[in-house]
Amino acid sequence: MISAQPELLCEALPEIKPLLPLHYEALSLHKDRHALSPQYEVYLARERNGELSLVTLRHDGALVGYWISFVAPGLHYSTCLTGTMDIWFIAKEYRVGKAPLLLIRAVEKELKRRGVHLWFAGEKLHNPCGRLFKFVDMQPVETYYAKWLRDEPMERH
């Protein structure tokens, strides 16, 4: 059985960590320039401050996906509680069928429960998921651009 539910990052992090390299390998366009090196302490501090939402996707109890959002008043709109997607991932074999919709619906439900007014989510242009976002009535609002400013690779830890 597949289920999606809010969980605490501090409890789920040991299960999430093994999925992060798969996530990084699938999505990073700059693997040759920087290593995966999450600031776990920052994530956990945000969770302790009530500023992080984690929704997991599980199949028979095993973690197969997750969605992490930051929840805070908008910097430009202090009265608008905003849910901003940080990262989300679904294991390859669960990306078809109802699992992605189950996860995104659970995220929406949790953000609503927390009183979020405005929800932002993004897609990688080389790995599009906009159809899923549009299916749940989200609208495209912005495109980000990136440019490396230093030629040398970053130090790997």
Domains observed in the chain:
2-135 (3.40.630.30)
- HSE-up of residue 110 (Cα within 13 Å, Cβ side): 25
Q: Which is it for strands 81-90 and 118-120: parallel, antiparallel or unpaired?
A: parallel
Q: What is the pTM of this model?
A: 0.86
Amino acid at 106: A
153: which DSSP letter?
P
**pLDDT tens column, 79-113:** 999 999 899 999 989 988 899 999 999 999 999 99
The band of 48, judged by pLDDT with boundaries at 50, 70 and 90, is: very high
